[in-house]
Amino acid sequence: MTTPRSVQRRHVLGALGATTLAAASGRLFAQSGPERPITFICPWPAGGTADQSMRALCTVAGRVLGQSIAVENKAGASGMIGAKALASARPDGYTIGQIPISVTRFSQLGTLQADPRKDFTYIARTSGQTFGIAVPANSPYKTLQEFVAAAKAKPGQVTYAHAGVGGATHVGMEEFAGAAGIQLNHVPYKGGAEALQGVLGGHVDALADSSSWAPHVEAGKLRLLATWGEQRTPRFKDVPTLKDLGYNVVVDAPNGIGAPKGVDPAILAKLRDAFRQAVASPEFKAVTDKIDAPVMYLDGPDYEKYVNTVYQKEAVLIDKLKLRELMKS
């Protein structure tokens, strides 16, 4: 007959055995590399630009580590469902993922129940995005200057579509509006694809988005008025940046790779080295060129400093743009 004490002893021994196995697994990873496939959480839908770039990185990093990295898409809530899953995972090096820089904003707005300053281990910043303002080809606005002049003449009447309140396209456009001294009427959609259709369908005056507009600009359906990067994008080198036009606004929303807080430093060193090589690879460059994503590599410690800097900047922007109130409306 099994006594309660013997059952309790078995549970204790079982727990100790699992802990010992986990520790041994961690030592093996730290010394010779991972002994089983790594899970990579991508917080965006399969097939999108972020997913494409992350899969290219994981293929190369897996080759470096000698073990496959399986991408698992956990999309929703502007990337925050995947970010929360990553923060909650076991910090053994076998679960890593993409960290959108918007964690610095959404954690303060309450959409993400995690603190990017304390709940993640940072591996590498990878690449940014090319954002821009586009209008239909038949729009009366031929230049950004004409767009600004119209908004000044009709405060709150010129409309723009974006991918959701509090996201990079909404916040970036409002930053620009503040710098230009204009008031725009923002029209939120459920994502960039829907926002694009709103503008192509003639329902909204302008589109603020990452490079979803690119093929439509090349096809002559949309006109690109400005991009938001530090430098002009090679694919549209005749289009000015906001800085070129005198507005001190840069939005590139770089993505990065991270893990839960508490990963063993020796395991972290292996992951950092693998993704450093992956970011420098021809495979990754081919994808970033295709989706107009500038490579913006930073190693883990510098990436963490960057996240902390952005967190402080976002705290100011949230108050300035009254984002908490907008999220409730």
- The count of domains in the chain is 2
Q: Do residues 198 and 143 both lie within one domain?
A: yes
Same domain, 78 and 159: no
**Mean pLDDT score of the chain:** 90
Q: Mind listing the pLDDT tens digit for each residue in 226-244?
A: 999 999 998 999 999 999 9
Residue 4 counted as domain residue: no
163 shares its domain with 266:
no
Q: Under 8 Å CB-to-CB from 1, ≥6 apart: which residues?
A: none
* 329 inside domain: no
Q: What is the pLDDT of residue 7?
A: 53
Judgement on whether residues 138 and 123 belong to the same structural domain of the protein: no
Q: Which of 251, 280, 312 is the last residue of a domain?
A: 251
Angle subtended at Cα 29 by Cα 83 and Cα 266, rounded to the nearest 5 degrees: 80
As a 3-state breakdown, the chain gives helix, strand, coil percent values, each rounded to 5, of 50, 20, 35
Pick the last residue of a domain from 208, 231, 251: 251
**DSSP bridge pairs for 132:** 209, 227
Is 23 within a domain? no
Range of the domain at 178: 132-251
Average pLDDT over every residue of 265-286: 97
Q: Please check whether residue 223 lies inside any domain of the structure.
A: yes
The strand pairing partners of 234, in sequence order, are none
The reply to whether 26 falls in a domain is no
Residue 140 has pLDDT above 90, yes or no: yes
Q: Characterise 229 by phi-psi region: left (phi > 0), alpha (psi -120 to 50), beta (else).
A: beta
Residue 45: what residue type? Answer: P
Does 195 lie in the same domain as 147?
Answer: yes
SS3 (DSSP) at 43: coil
Region 253-279 average pLDDT: 96
**88 with 232, same domain?**
no
Q: What percent of the chain has pLDDT over 70?
A: 91
Distance between CA 206 and CA 132 in Å, rounded?
10
Q: Write the CATH number for 184.
A: 3.40.190.10
Shared domain for 290 and 300, answered yes or no, is yes
Q: What is the distance of C-alpha 283 from the center of its chain?
A: 20
Phi, psi torsion values for 103, nearest 5 degrees: -60, -30
Reported confidence tier of residue 18, pLDDT bands at 50, 70, 90? very low
Question: Has residue 219 been placed in a domain?
Answer: yes
Residues 144 and 242 in one domain: yes
Confidence of residue 22 (pLDDT cuts 50, 70, 90): very low
Q: Which CATH number fits the domain that encloses residue 43?
A: 3.40.190.150
Same domain, 48 and 182: no
Which 3-state string (H, E, C) describes 102-162? CHHHHHHHCCCCCCCCCCEEEEEEEECCCCEEEEECCCCCCCHHHHHHHHHHCCCCCEEEE
Alpha helical stretches, state H, 143-225: 144-153, 168-180, 192-200, 214-218
User: What's the average model confidence in pLDDT over 198-206?
Assistant: 97
Q: Is residue 25 part of a domain?
A: no
Whole-number pLDDT of residue 66: 96
The domain boundary, picked from 251, 271, 287, lies at 251
Q: How many CB atoms lie within 10 A of CB 47?
A: 9
Q: What is the pLDDT of residue 325?
A: 86
Residue indicated by tokens 């031929």: 142
- pLDDT band at residue 37 using 50, 70 and 90 as cut-offs: very high
Count of CB atoms situated within 10 Å of the CB of 217: 18
Q: pLDDT digit string (tens) for 148-188?
A: 999 999 999 999 999 888 888 999 999 999 999 999 999 99
Residue 235 forms part of a structural domain: yes
Question: Same domain, yes or no, for 145 and 239?
Answer: yes
Please tell me whether residues 258 and 289 are part of one structural domain: yes
Q: 214, 227, 210, 233: which is closest to 144 by C-alpha? A: 227
The verdict on 98 and 70 lying in the same domain is: yes
First to last CA, the chain: 63
